[in-house]
Copies of this chain bind each other. A is one copy, B any other.
Amino acid sequence: MKHITIADIAREAGVSKATVSRVLSKSNLVSEKTANRISSVIEKYSYIPNVLAQGLAGKPTRNIGVIVDEFPNNFYIDLADGIDKVVSANNYTFQVMSSQWEPERELEGVHSMLKSRVDGLLITPVSCDSPAVLELKKSGIPFVLINSKSEDPDVSYVCCDNYKGGALLAEHVNSLGHEQVIIVSVFDHETVRDRIRGFEDTLRAGALPVIRYANAKTYNDGYELAPTVAEYGSITEKKTSLFVTNDYVAIGFITRFLEMGISIPRQAAVAGFDDIRLSSICRVPLTSVSQSVCEMGRTAAEYLLNLIKKSSRFPFRKLIDPHLVIRESTKM
């Protein structure tokens, strides 16, 4: 089944390809009469111009690339939603890839996107100086980092103010007046480090050293880790505040604690970060720091479109303001 082309339309309408092209791009240098005639032919054959050819001939593809770390986390849903809202409203499309947290895969993703001539790129980079980001800079294509900051004055980003989020939480924890504080760092990423820095800087003295636990990304990981932490911190003896740097994992902790007979928040107060949907619905609703991921997606997409339109040549940088949501898991 052969695709019909602009030439077919032109022939049928008895005009030149150029004229058809003009009505396609809504140029008003065409008499209304011929424009109508052409339009009806286009209708008749339900002709759809070939974007590849258009792109090759110099028009922007109106397609942007999105590279995320992985799909199956709550972050991506909201992000996609936010991006979709502005992208589709502006008649752009987007294609997605996942890096699976692997820098090489991320780089491949960038190459693949570049190959297909996206007009711009949104990326939640594995790290702010991963090869992919460097490659993007070299390429000269507009791009915006999401959930990552950059020292480089030329790169745009949208990120939650994780430092502040950590600080907010620490203030709350301070007010709880517990005998000890345990921090579980579940994942090694710049955003997580910021959360912890903000938390530690604001916390009154007396915190236990941070427990680092790489790759505790899931509910199950938290569930598994809970007994170790309980023992390490002698939670049954000292009133404890526990800060887990990620909600999903925090909920795993809570579930296990309850099973172990540790009462939340009486014996141990637990707080998370991200304020995912689950957090308000789970067994003991979780105190958490909320960052609007959907807004992040929206903002980043808007920035990117601006960069593409060259409405501004300056990079955009935005720290989204987090806020604290106090729920039962820390209510004394």
Contacts and interface: CB of A to CB of B under 8 A. Distances in A.
Interface of A: 1, 46, 48-53, 55-56, 61, 63, 70-74, 76-78, 80-81, 84, 88, 93-98, 111-117, 135, 138-140, 219, 251, 255, 277-278, 281-283, 294
Contact of A282 (B55, B219, B283): B283
Contact of A84 (B77, B78, B98, B251): B98
Contact of A278 (B98, B115, B255, B278): B278
Contacts of A73: 77
* Copies in the assembly, this chain: 2
A111 B91 CA distance: 12
28 contacts: A1-B139, A46-B135, A46-B138, A48-B114, A48-B115, A49-B115, A50-B56, A51-B115, A51-B117, A52-B55, A52-B117, A53-B56, A63-B95, A63-B116, A71-B77, A71-B80, A72-B78, A76-B80, A84-B96, A88-B97, A88-B98, A93-B112, A93-B113, A94-B96, A277-B278, A281-B283, A282-B282, A282-B283
Contacts of A283: 281-283
Nearest to A55: B52
A78 B73 CA distance: 9
A277 B72 CA distance: 11
A286 to B, nearest CB: 11
Nearest to A110: B48
B61 A52 contact: yes
A116 B46 CA distance: 15
B219 A281 contact: yes
A93 B115 CA distance: 11
A76 B51 CA distance: 27
Nearest to A138: B46
Contacts of A135: 46
A263 B35 CA distance: 68
A55 B52 CA distance: 7
A148 to B, nearest CB: 21
Contact of A116 (B70, B88, B93, B140): B93
A114 to B, nearest CB: 5
Given A72-B80, A93-B113, 12 more contacts: A1-B139, A1-B140, A63-B116, A71-B84, A72-B77, A76-B77, A76-B80, A84-B98, A219-B281, A278-B281, A282-B282, A282-B283
B51 A116 contact: yes
A219 B285 CA distance: 15
A219 B282 CA distance: 13
The residue in A135, A251, A277 that gathers the most chain B C-beta atoms within 10 A of its C-beta is A277
B81 A72 contact: yes
Contacts of A116: 51-52, 61, 63, 93
A112 to B, nearest CB: 6
A98 B88 CA distance: 9
Contact of A281 (B84, B96, B115, B282): B282
